[in-house]
Every structure is written in C-alpha cells, then in structure tokens.
Chains A and B, each alone.
Chain A
Amino acid sequence: MRHRNGGFKLGRNTSHRRALLRNLTTSVILEDRVETTAIKAKAVRPLVEKMITLGKRGDVHARRQAASFLQTPEAVDRLFATVAPRYGDRNGGYLRIIKTGFRKGDGGEKAFIELLGAEAELGEKREKREAAKAKKREELQKQLEEQQQAEGGENAA
C-alpha cells in the first residue's frame, strides 16, 4: 500500500532530485517562465512558493535561508528585489502551470510554469527573442546569396 507516500520521486535518488529541484526553482525565479514536464512543474511549485514567502519576509535571515537553497546569488537578488514585491496582497498561488501537450520522443507531458504578474516582462523577452531570430535569419540569407554569387563567378571564369 502506498499510504502516506506523497510527493514526486522523479526517478532520481535523493541528492539528484534535490539538485534538480533547486536548479529548477532558481531558473523559475530568474526567468519568470520555464518549460519543463508537467510533473516537474508540479514538484517545483511548492518550493518556489516557499522562496517567494521568504522574499516577502525580506529580512536578513530570510535572505540567508533563500541563499542556502537557491543556486546563484543573482536569483536571490531577483527574488527579493523584483519577484517578491509583486505579491504583497496575495497569500500563495503565485504560479501558473499550463499543460501544452506531449513530447515527440518519449511522450512526456510538457508544461509551462510561470510566475503570475510576469506577463509584461515575458512579452518583452519574447519580442527581443523574435527580433534576434529575424536578424539571424537575415544574415543567413545574405551569406547564402553571397555564396551563390561566388559560385556563379567561378562557373563563369
């Protein structure tokens, strides 16, 4: 009987699982939105919420507790400076998980996990990404054209 065996094991031993969840928590706080499997998203949600609660407390002890869990000092800074102040009047439920379908290779269910109230920043990020993509595509096109011209020249000579 699997009575009182809650939680997610994620097919890893304790240290591997802890490292994975710490990394994921750090990423969610740094990036606002992370694409992962639905189960991993469910597993990190309570951890991220605990971090945000620490961020709302905002004292030095809370900061040290957060620093002992999060993997990078940048994440701690972001948590206390930008993430936690968004949720002043909200008690929990800081995150949103949206399932997006199944992965091709192994059929794993994918999902986005994102912080509420990060929509504006996410939109900006996406615009930047798309601009970078368009630029890259243009450059590639240029290179291709130059190559074709060079080849044409060789053939003529």
Chain B
Amino acid sequence: MPNPKRRHSKQRTAKRRSHDFLVPTGVSECPNCHERKLPHRACPKCGTYKGREVLAVKSEA
C-alpha cells in the first residue's frame, strides 16, 4: 500500500482549512415592521410580503 512520504505540517493543514468557514445567511429587513427576515420570503413576524399577502400571525398564546 502507498504511504505518505513526508510529514504533514501544521501550516499545510491550516492552509487547507483557510477556506473552511461558515458564511452568514443573507438577511433583509421587512419593509413593514423593520424586523430582520429572510429575503424572498413572507415576514414571519408581521405576515406581510410586498405590502400585502397577510398570513395568519399568532398574536397570543
């Protein structure tokens, strides 16, 4: 079986992992209630999308 010829240095590991990071989700602002929301989706807080499209929002309980 083939084996590694050389020791793998910490630098090499670190360099490879330099691209392994998480990217924050894109978040947009609801034009109605100014809450943070996901883009292209109805606002879960106030239930609006593009000014109308009111979905049932649970206010109590």
Contacts and interface: CB of A to CB of B under 8 A. Distances in A.
Contacts of B42: 98-101
Nearest to B52: A119
Interface residues of B, number: 10
Contacts of B41: 98-101
Q: State the majority secondary structure of interface residues on A.
A: strand
A92 to B, nearest CB: 20
Interface in B23-61: 38, 40-42, 44, 49, 52-53, 55-56
Interface residues of A, number: 7
Give the interface SS of chain B, mostly helix, strand, loop or mixed.
loop
Nearest to B56: A126
A69 interface: no
A87 interface: no
Interface in B5-27: none
19 contacts: A98-B41, A98-B42, A98-B49, A98-B53, A99-B40, A99-B41, A99-B42, A100-B41, A100-B42, A100-B44, A100-B55, A101-B38, A101-B41, A101-B42, A101-B44, A112-B53, A112-B55, A119-B52, A126-B56
Interface of B: 38, 40-42, 44, 49, 52-53, 55-56
